């Protein structure tokens, strides 16, 4: 019990860091959150955020008077650190006009670069998986995929089945490979990665 | 991104433009010939008639061309809107996915994507095996309107 109470503030800092990063990931990859969360780059992003948040908390705890409530410190350090990461702070501002010569603590720039790096790596992973799934789908003839597209079209509120039929008629002039690719892309975008992968599995099973 | 082929995007509109130019030119020629012909001669009357017909044809083609232009502009605006909405709703996409989701062909959305990128409403990032299209902050604001 004593251990839980003493470790509690650390968990609070950890929770704050995870919540903050998760909010950013959900906002960025809202179309593919579950796969984005499974990426090792997301793990690195969350892990480093937690590590630095805990480091900030430890620093504050060492500097603060011993009588300070550790829960309050955890709350201030946990939330404050996340805010600090996303803010540009000028430590010294010369008495001349303009920002030249200002000594800034630009954690925001560093954080932004790290965030962009992780985002581009996650993008690479997600896009790579989607490209592989499309390649897999183009092994099927357009007719088989068209059948799935019709099913999806009837379930969609965004496009009427007539619109989709007109589109499929327009594709008839295209080479078979391109027809399959576009139909597969429609299914992937409309149904999402997981549903489309599952449909492909069923189609493969039926084809055997 | 790959270059599109040089085939005309709207062949009928381009044909109308050419015909309109020919009609204007013929109209000018017949005006000149009518001026040279003797007054009240049957040839002068015929040339005058031809000149009127050609002027009317040129005007009609011009109107049709304008209508066609308006329709194409409307279709492009609709496609832009659909692309931005799709990216807002479902997040970054491969260009081929966007083409399929907007019920278009890759060659139809390519110039629209380039325009959107030029206006900084979308960013086109390179990924292994292709490109990834994503909304910029400006694009997100535009799509949310």
The pLDDT of residue B109 is above 80: yes
In which residue are the tokens 């002039």 written? Answer: A173
pLDDT of residue A81: 82
The nearest alpha carbon in chain B to A173 belongs to B105
The pLDDT of residue A92 is above 70: no
> Which of B12-16, B28-32, B51-55 has the lowest average pLDDT?
B12-16
The three-class DSSP label of residue A163 is helix
pLDDT of residue B39: 64
The nearest alpha carbon in chain B to A167 belongs to B103
The pLDDT of residue B110 is above 90: yes
Query: Over chain A, what is the mean pLDDT?
Result: 86
Query: Which 125-154 residues of chain A touch chain B by CB within 8 A?
Result: 126-128, 130-131, 134
The pLDDT of residue A4 is above 80: no
pLDDT of residue B3: 39
pLDDT of residue A116: 87
CB contact under 8 A, A127 and B129: yes
pLDDT of residue A189: 92
Higher pLDDT, B37 or A15: A15
Q: What pLDDT, in 10s, does the model give residues B69-97?
A: 777 788 889 999 999 999 998 889 999 99
CB contact under 8 A, A134 and B96: yes
The pLDDT of residue B9 is above 60: no
pLDDT of residue B80: 94
Q: What angle do CA A173, A176, A178 make, to 5 degrees?
A: 85
CB contact under 8 A, B125 and A123: yes
Chain B positions touching A164 (Cβ under 8 A) are 103
| DSSP track, B34-91 | HHHSPTT-HHHHHHHHHHHHHHHHHHHHHHHHHHHHHHHHHHHHHHHHHHHHHHHHH-
The three-class DSSP label of residue A172 is coil
Chain A positions touching B92 (Cβ under 8 A) are 31, 123, 126-127
**Residues in contact with A140: Cβ distance below 8 Å, sequence separation at least 6, in sequence order:** A180, A184, A200, A203, A207
pLDDT of residue B4: 41
Tally of CB atoms within 10 A around A195: 13
Share of chain A above pLDDT 90, in %: 34
The pLDDT of residue B6 is above 50: no
Mean of pLDDT values over B30-53: 74
pLDDT of residue B105: 94
pLDDT of residue B121: 95
pLDDT of residue B7: 47
Cβ–Cβ pairs < 8 A, chains A and B: 68
Query: What's the predicted TM-score (pTM) here?
Result: 0.69
Q: Does A174 lie at the interface with B, CB-CB under 8 angstroms?
A: yes
Give the HSE-up count for residue A206: Cα atoms under 13 Å, Cβ half-sphere: 9
pLDDT-based confidence at residue A164 (cuts at 50, 70, 90): very high
Q: With CA atoms as reference, report the closest residue to B85 among B116, B64, B61.
A: B116
Provide the token pair at A106: 């630009």
Cα–Cα distance, A194 to A177 (Å, whole number): 23
**Residues in contact with A130: Cβ distance below 8 Å, sequence separation at least 6, in sequence order:** A188, A193, B94, B97
Q: SS3 breakdown of chain A: % helix, strand, coil, rounded to 5?
A: 75, 5, 20
Provide the token pair at B23: 């009609």
How much is the ipTM here? 0.74
Share of chain A above pLDDT 70, in %: 91
**Residues in contact with A124: Cβ distance below 8 Å, sequence separation at least 6, in sequence order:** B127, B128
DSSP H helices, A29-39, are 33-38
């Amino acid at each position: 019990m004593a251990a839980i109470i003493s470790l509690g503030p650390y968990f609070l800092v950890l929770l704050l860091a995870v919540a903050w990063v998760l909010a950013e990931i959900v906002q960025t990859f809202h179309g593919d959150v579950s796969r984005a969360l499974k990426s090792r780059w997301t793990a690195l992003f969350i892990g480093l955020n937690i590590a630095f948040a805990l480091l900030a908390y430890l620093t504050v705890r060492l500097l603060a008077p011993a009588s300070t409530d550790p829960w309050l410190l955890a709350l201030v350090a946990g939330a404050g650190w996340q805010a600090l990461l996303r803010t540009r702070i000028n430590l010294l501002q010369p008495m001349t006009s303009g920002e030249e010569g200002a000594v800034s603590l630009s954690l925001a720039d560093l954080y932004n670069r790290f965030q962009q790096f992780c985002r581009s790596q996650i993008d690479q992973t997600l896009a790579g998986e989607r490209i592989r799934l499309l390649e897999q789908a183009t092994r099927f003839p357009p007719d088989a995929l068209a059948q799935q597209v019709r099913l999806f079209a009837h379930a969609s509120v965004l496009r009427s089945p007539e619109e989709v039929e007109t589109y499929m008629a327009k594709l008839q002039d295209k080479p078979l490979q391109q027809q399959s690719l576009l139909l597969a892309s429609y299914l992937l975008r409309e149904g999402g990665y997981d549903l489309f992968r599952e449909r492909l599995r069923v189609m493969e099973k039926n084809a055997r | 991104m790959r270059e599109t082929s040089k085939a005309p995007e709207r062949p009928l509109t381009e044909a109308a433009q050419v015909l309109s130019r020919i009609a204007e030119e013929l109209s000018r020629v017949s005006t000149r010939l009518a001026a040279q012909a003797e007054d009240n001669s049957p040839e002068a009357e015929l040339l005058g008639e031809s000149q009127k017909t050609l002027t009317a044809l040129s005007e009609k083609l011009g109107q049709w061309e304008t209508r066609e232009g308006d329709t194409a502009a409307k279709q492009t605006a609709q496609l832009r809107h659909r692309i931005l909405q799709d990216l807002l709703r479902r997040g970054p996409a491969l260009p081929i996915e966007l083409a399929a989701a907007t019920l278009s062909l890759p060659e139809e959305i390519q110039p629209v994507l380039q325009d959107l990128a030029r206006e900084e409403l979308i960013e086109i990032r390179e990924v292994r095996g292709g490109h990834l299209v994503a909304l910029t902050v400006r694009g997100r604001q535009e799509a949310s309107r």
